[in-house]
A and B are shown apart, each in its own frame.
Chain A
Amino acid sequence: DSGVTQTPKHLITATGQRVTLRCSPRSGDLSVYWYQQSLDQGLQFLIQYYNGEERAKGNILERFSAQQFPDLHSELNLSSLELGDSALYFCASSVGYSEQFFGPGTRLTVL
């Protein structure tokens, strides 16, 4: 158990819908990262937050957005969903440069 929690574990929705994925980092970790793992694209970095502020953006689509709240939990919002958004979405957290611990992931299926 990495100490990073993600909910829900599975999500099934339809094209055009909007969903929110939630992540709670390990206690004391200020950085939260979101990653997407799909068969087509592999594992891709989406976005990083540090203590409530956006720190870095990766290959995140404009339809996707994220935020980190004062209690350091983070949410990833995915809107106007397409079939190609079906993937495993990971949240990771870290306190320094030498580690990133991943949560169990949310498996999103868009039908």
Chain B
Amino acid sequence: AQKITQTQPGMFVQEKEAVTLDCTYDTSDQSYGLFWYKQPSSGEMIFLIYQGSYDEQNATEGRYSLNFQKARKSANLVISASQLGDSAMYFCAMREGRGGGADGLTFGKGTHLIIQP
């Protein structure tokens, strides 16, 4: 079974609209972390936001927020007031509690977001 599932291969959104990118995860660990990254066409991986499994509040970073629903094992990224520069691939990733400080990330397949003017 996939550990990270992103069900939207591609999305078209009108500029200035809010966007929700879906991510569900699968783990039996109690301690884990969830990450979102942006990969523009230039190829670099840009860290956007992090949510720890024990964090009670949803994480926010500027226009990015993470809608964390632990019981549903979902960690959706919300981008408010989308801009043309938000067009990119977006990856959801998970760090599981392997212990001993081992925390390589498992990534989903990504969502290709295109913002239209």
Contacts and interface: CB of A to CB of B under 8 A. Distances in A.
Interface of A: 2, 31, 33, 35, 42-48, 50, 55-56, 58, 88, 90, 92, 94, 97-102, 104-105, 107
Contacts of B95: 97
Contact of A55 (B91, B100, B107): B100
B104 A58 contact: yes
A94 B101 CA distance: 11
Contact of B47 (A43, A99, A105): A99
Contact of A42 (B50, B101, B102, B110): B110
A55 B95 CA distance: 14
Contact of A2 (B47, B52, B100, B103): B47
Q: Is the interface of A mostly helix, strand, loop or mixed?
A: strand
Interface in B97-115: 98, 100-110
Contacts of B104: 33, 35, 45-48, 56, 58
Nearest to A55: B102
A45 B43 contact: no
B103 A97 contact: yes
B44 A102 contact: yes
